[in-house]
Amino acid sequence: MTYEFTKEDLDRIESIKKEYPEVKATTLQVLWVAQDRFGHVDADVQRLVAATLELPEAHVHGVASFYTQYYKQKMGKHVLDVCTCLSCQLCGGYDILNHLEKKLGIKAGETTKDGMFSLQQVECLGACGYAPMLQVTNGEFVNHLTEEKVDHLLDKLRNGEDPEHEMMEMPLRKQKENP
């Protein structure tokens, strides 16, 4: 499949280029521009990025493959990254994952037929204090998960609403404030 940047994307890329001393350094940012536009950076998109920046295709491929946040294939509209690393695992991360698998009718690593959800099992996202948790499409963290909370999230996302932002307290600060 061939992809093309819009005029608006190209303007954005030009202004990104101005921020860096050399083009090579803009690879990460421009991959984001591409992922915002196309929803993923598969081989063809990587090629487009390389051609746009006049960088070697291999270099762009290397960068894209390094970061899991770049999707190297077409994904669902919402990507649910469920943490099953140590803390989440102990607090029931796998239960959440299994629940989602059952609910969506797919396995981790797959995408629902309607293209709505992709489910991934990931390692630590740095939110051990609020385990178990998941992340929605490289964005919002949803914490202290329960099956009900997950169902609620799915409904919200299906309705086109954004997951609500949860303000998490730092445990230490709480202690200090209410001694």
Q: Is 58 in the site for other proteins (CB under 8 A)?
A: yes
Q: Is 43 in the site for other proteins (CB under 8 A)?
A: yes
CA distance 179 to 176: 6
Dihedral sign computed on CA atoms, order 30, 32, 35, 36: negative
Task: Supply φ then ψ for residue 52, to 5 degrees.
Answer: -65, -40
Asked if 73 touches other proteins (CB under 8 A), the answer is: no
- Among residues 60, 80, 96, 134, the one that binds other proteins under rule CB under 8 A: 60
In sequence order, the β-bridge partners of residue 107 are none
Q: Does 17 bind other proteins (CB under 8 A)?
A: no
Q: How far is the CB of 56 from other proteins (least distance, A)?
A: 3
Asked if 47 is part of the footprint of other proteins (rule: CB under 8 A), the reply reads yes
By CB under 8 A, residue 168 contacts other proteins:
no
Q: Quick one: 62 or 115, whose CB is closer to other proteins? A: 62
Q: Does 99 bind other proteins (CB under 8 A)?
A: no
50 is a site residue for other proteins (CB under 8 A) = yes
What's the maximum distance between 2 C-alpha atoms anywhere in the chain? 61
- Coil, helix or strand at residue 118: strand
CB of 18 to other proteins, least distance (A): 24
Q: Of the candidates 129, 120, 119, which has an alpha carbon nearest to the alpha carbon of residue 86? A: 129
* Binding residue for other proteins, selected from 56, 105, 129, 139, defined by CB under 8 A: 56
Task: Decide if residue 65 touches other proteins (CB under 8 A).
Answer: yes
3-state helix, strand, coil in the chain (%, to 5): 50, 10, 40
Which of 50/145 has CB closer to other proteins? 50
The CA–CA distances, whole Å, from 97 to 127, 128, 141, 173 equal: 16, 16, 15, 31
Interaction of residue 133 with other proteins, rule CB under 8 A:
no
Note the residues at the interface with other proteins (CB under 8 A): 43, 46-47, 50, 56-62, 65-66
